[in-house]
Structure 1
Amino acid sequence: MERKNRSDSTGEEQAMQAFATTPGERTLSRLLALLGILLFGWMLWYSSANTATHFISDWSVPLLVLASVAAALPLAKALGRYGGGRTFMVALLLLVAAPRIVWIAAVDTAPVSDFLDMHSAALSAAAGDFSFGENEYFSRWAYQLGFTFYEALAIKLFGGSLIVLKLLNVLFQAGTAVVLYKCAVRAFGETCGRAAALMYAVYVPNIIMCSVLTNQHISVFFYFLALYVLIRKRFVGKSDWLLVGLCIGFGNLMRPLGSFFLLGVLAYAAFFLLAPRIRERSWPALAAKCVGVLAVYWLVQQAASFALVQGGVTPYPLSNREPYWKFMIGLNPATNGGWSYDDTVYVLQYPPGEERNRVELELLKKRLEDKRQVGALFASKTKAMWGDEDSAPMWSLPDMDRPELVKRLVQTERIQYVLMAFFGLVAMTVIAWRGATGEASLFLLLLLGYAALHVVIEVQTRYRFDIWPCAIILQSFGIYALLGLFRRKGGV
């Protein structure tokens, strides 16, 4: 009886922690949740349709999803009730590491595409040859040099074996799992923290992408570490602004999404931290911290660019020299907003700089002329981005003739994705009814912003990797909400 009372008390405390406490916070979180209902509803509808194409029987998908829900709810309840913090953390790290190490040992993924360009350059850099800095790839995408030198440092310290870089991927994913646990605990409570961390640990694309030398593993860790620092004390810690700026700055050196996460941080600070304090004396100090984040981020980028330019690696700063490229590609109806070989061949005829940018802008404007076609493209892209199967098997098993393995991986990922879309929809419905704290709303704000951005820029399902931790955190509250519903009805 005493244990049950403690459990019920903890559940009530978690519910109070998740729900908004001020009228302004409640109203804004409800508005965001209404948009979240549309997004998660879209995910659920189109991913369910896509998932059905990967199974023979029409009944397979609903039965598997129901079975997954039936298994997830009691497991989440057990996770929240039994085992201390240290026990859970050890179990989590083992659950993250074990399947990823097994996958890396069993599947010898070779670098391809951009990953091959960066790894080849890293091998040269580790040997003291920096001539790659002015080749076609790095002349176009100088911002990829940050990750390239991270790989070069690892090669210099531990040798040139691919296994070292892949094990570092596992290490960063383990760190991300811990950070997500902390974020979800801060946003929704202990049970949700554990549910989010568990879902991150077993999500198939996360596991099999560990054998791929993508910059996403390390950038996601630093971006979400910045978000945790931001929300752990609602940005009142003395050095929080410095840590947030450094984390986003370093994350941007790995993968150039820093401006997006900065915008999310500033929006959170403006709507959920500054707005309630606008009549208080404390708001100037908070505003100064926001400026400090921007300054630290800018200094990190400038310092890295200065070092690489002065070191003779590249004549270009670590910035995007083709600002229209992603938009031009994203508006290509022939590829449904995905990468285009024809576009690549076309623009490479022109020298980089003003002339190539002019050509890309002209093509971009031309593709915007047919408004009906643009509208149809936006809908088709959003359907593909948030409904199609993840491309992780393609990147993890390139040119490997293992169709049965790929089939099973895709089927498992599809059921997991539908399940999370369902839990996310439940979470949005509850938040739209009750409102949520700014900490919870931050992750929804980022997810919605990312979805909006990919309406107009290039899409690949691999790009979900960068923002999917937000969805994982949000869907954990859907699990908790359903647990509460069944508990009241005498179920699990």
Structure 2
Amino acid sequence: MENRMNRVMQELSQIIDKFGRYLLVIAFSFCLLCLFKLQIIQGAAWDTSAFVLGGMGIICGVFLLFKLSLIQLSDRQALVILAAISLILLGIWNYIYRPVPVSDYKVLLEGAQDIVNGTFGKHAAQPSDYFRYYNFQIGYAYYLSLLMRVFGYRLLYFKIVEMIVITLTVLILFKTLRLYVDVHTATFGAGVFAIFPYIFIGAGIINNQHEGLLLEAAAIYFILKRQSWQNLLLAAACITLAQTLRPTAVVVVMAIAATLLIQAVYHRSRQRLLGTIAFVAAFWGLGWIINGLFIISGVAPYGIKGGNPYYKFLIGLTGKGVSGKYTTSARKSQLYYDLKAYHFDYGLYKQAAADKLRRVFVHGVNLQDVMDRFTSFLGNVDNQYNLGGDQAFLERHSLLISSLNFSGIIIYAGTVLGTFKRVVTEKVLIDRVAYLLPALIYGMFFFAYIVMETQTRYRFEQYYALFLLATPVIYRWLKIIQRKMFTDNLTDPLS
């Protein structure tokens, strides 16, 4: 009986491994095709000056970081150097580009100020209020209100906090990479992440993606470090806070839970299975407590866990909501007009949205529209710099922005290519948790965004997963190039 059970578990592990590898190969093949279509075939869209300036910037930056990584550094020295690189770069960028709150981020700051003033609850209770139909944003508004109580209302202090948050994410990336690669590779990978334009270009923008990613990165670190009960609970606490600030953290939660469960099956370990249950229970329990505290405090009369998933799916599959009206401002989005059409009766709206989704699936999804949107999401430049509210700056410094966008797409494409090489050549997916977890995170975001609303700036968590996966491959490529160049210099008779 026991031998039969072992065979069944072994066969199940093999099925999971093969199925996962095939899905990842498909996902990264699709990413490369999107990048090829939008950046190579349509590459003429890049201005020559931006192409040269952005390309030289990446070559110089990667070369210097590679040379830095070759120095014999302790982990502490590497952390200090990486922190200095990140803070200096972020400081320079914030000095050059001084965005002001616009769109949702302006509304979030206004909500934070209302929380400080004690007037938020009565507004959030109104059916037509932004924080009623986007109640998952309340957690981040509350976080901003805590910063306001400490630092006041000056935008400078919020930007300094954003700089520190991004720098801490760089350092956690280094510590996570160090769990399974040497200090040289980890220094290089975290250094490139620090200079990655799609990360630092949004440093001056009030953005829950920064804090959300920091907490998600910490949860990933605790899971990969050692699967002790303490680390599992710490990971659950970090990811619960991340979910409070940014709801997309639920994808990371599912990836962690799936990773723990797959490892339990693969190792046929009862303890790992209990750890999976403990992680999910801790996440759910802490989330329930936080949601209850928001209700009891009066800050969020309807809690922070409602949301409107129908809306995200409708936008993703059809490009518009139930009413067909488009967004005119942050407070008057498509969802606002959808709810207004039903007199802000949330029950009637959800029923109408569900009926429309059923009709979409019965009569067929417009695959052309879905693929156009998804291809753009995967292959175009990150658009977060447009959220800075300073259009005059963008117009005056169009060459700088275009150069940063080009260098950003090169790094992004490089990590996709490096990860593609890894998923094609590595024979076993589920054997190593350090490979399995970031692969699942990327894969789950990939497949979720096929049917949900997308913008290129939503790739934020995927960037982090790509760096975890691609850094060892890219660093190995650079070492091979260095060795070939060094050997050629020795054997060249004209040298």
Is the aligned partner of 1:443 residue 2:438?
yes
**Residue aligning to 2:383:** 391
Deviation of 1:170 (Å): 0.9
Deviation of 1:47 (Å): 4.5
**Residue aligning to 1:153:** 146
Does the Cα contact within 8 Å between 1:368 and 1:374 map onto a contact in 2? Answer: no
Is the aligned partner of 1:461 residue 2:456?
yes
Does the Cα contact within 8 Å between 2:65 and 2:192 map onto a contact in 1? Answer: no
DSSP-derived class of the 2:298 partner: coil
**Residues 71 and 225 (structure 1), Cα distance of their counterparts in 2 relative to 1, 3 Å cut:** closer
| C-alpha distance after superposition, 1:68-119 (max 9, x if no partner) | 4586357425414443322221111111111222333343322122211211
1:368-407 residue pairs with structure 2 within 5 A?
A: 368-371=361-364, 374-407=366-399
Letter in 1 for 2:271: A
**Residues 50 and 305 (structure 1), Cα distance of their counterparts in 2 relative to 1, 3 Å cut:** farther
Distance 1:434 1:160 in 2: 51
DSSP-derived class of the 1:400 partner: helix
- Unaligned residue ranges in structure 1 (runs of 5+): 1-21
Does the Cα contact within 8 Å between 2:179 and 2:225 map onto a contact in 1? Answer: yes
Letter in 1 for 2:394: R
**Residue aligning to 1:316:** 302
**Residue aligning to 1:479:** 474
Letter in 1 for 2:273: A
**Residues 212 and 68 (structure 1), Cα distance of their counterparts in 2 relative to 1, 3 Å cut:** closer
Q: 1:109 aligns with which of 84, 87, 99?
A: 99
Distance 2:89 2:61 in 1: 20
Is the aligned partner of 1:429 residue 2:421?
yes
Identical amino acids, percent of aligned pairs: 18
Deviation of 1:320 (Å): 2.7
Distance 1:105 1:67 in 2: 19
Does the Cα contact within 8 Å between 1:378 and 1:455 map onto a contact in 2? Answer: yes
DSSP-derived class of the 1:160 partner: coil
Distance 1:475 1:425 in 2: 8
**Residues 469 and 68 (structure 1), Cα distance of their counterparts in 2 relative to 1, 3 Å cut:** same
**Residue aligning to 1:225:** 218
Is the aligned partner of 1:182 residue 2:145?
no
The answer to which of 30-39 and 93-102 deviates more is 30-39
**Residues 210 and 385 (structure 1), Cα distance of their counterparts in 2 relative to 1, 3 Å cut:** same
Is the aligned partner of 1:195 residue 2:215?
no
Deviation of 1:292 (Å): 1.4
**Residues 412 and 93 (structure 1), Cα distance of their counterparts in 2 relative to 1, 3 Å cut:** same
DSSP-derived class of the 2:449 partner: helix
Does the Cα contact within 8 Å between 2:172 and 2:218 map onto a contact in 1? Answer: yes
Letter in 2 for 1:249: T
Is the aligned partner of 1:365 residue 2:358?
yes
The answer to which of 146-155 and 375-384 deviates more is 375-384
DSSP-derived class of the 2:282 partner: helix
DSSP-derived class of the 1:211 partner: coil
Q: 2:251 aligns with which of 260, 277, 283?
A: 260
Aligned residues: 460
**Residue aligning to 2:330:** none
Does the Cα contact within 8 Å between 2:196 and 2:411 map onto a contact in 1? Answer: no
**Residue aligning to 1:164:** 157
Letter in 2 for 1:98: I
Deviation of 1:120 (Å): 0.5
Distance 1:482 1:339 in 2: 50
The answer to which of 435-444 and 447-456 deviates more is 435-444
Does the Cα contact within 8 Å between 1:43 and 1:387 map onto a contact in 2? Answer: yes
Deviation of 1:257 (Å): 2.0
**Residue aligning to 1:291:** 277
DSSP-derived class of the 1:402 partner: helix
- Higher RCO, Cα 8 Å, sep 6+: 1
| C-alpha distance after superposition, 1:99-146 (max 9, x if no partner) | 222333343322122211211011121123233322411111212111
Letter in 2 for 1:433: T
Deviation of 1:62 (Å): 9.1
Letter in 1 for 2:229: K
Distance 1:481 1:24 in 2: 30
Distance 1:166 1:378 in 2: 36
The answer to which of 208-217 and 310-319 deviates more is 310-319
Distance 2:124 2:28 in 1: 45
Deviation of 1:352 (Å): 3.8
**Residues 213 and 74 (structure 1), Cα distance of their counterparts in 2 relative to 1, 3 Å cut:** closer
**Residue aligning to 1:19:** none
Q: 2:484 aligns with which of 475, 486, 489?
A: 489
Distance 2:204 2:264 in 1: 42
Distance 1:63 1:106 in 2: 18
Deviation of 1:302 (Å): 1.6
**Residue aligning to 2:291:** 305
Deviation of 1:285 (Å): 1.9
Distance 1:468 1:254 in 2: 19
Distance 1:73 1:37 in 2: 26
1:226-241 residue pairs with structure 2 within 5 A?
A: 226-233=219-226, 235=227, 237-241=228-232
Does the Cα contact within 8 Å between 2:325 and 2:338 map onto a contact in 1? Answer: no
Does the Cα contact within 8 Å between 2:229 and 2:275 map onto a contact in 1? Answer: no
Does the Cα contact within 8 Å between 2:419 and 2:466 map onto a contact in 1? Answer: no
**Residues 50 and 88 (structure 1), Cα distance of their counterparts in 2 relative to 1, 3 Å cut:** farther
Deviation of 1:339 (Å): 10
Deviation of 1:431 (Å): 4.2
| C-alpha distance after superposition, 1:6-39 (max 9, x if no partner) | xxxxxxxxxxxxxxxx989986775455235414
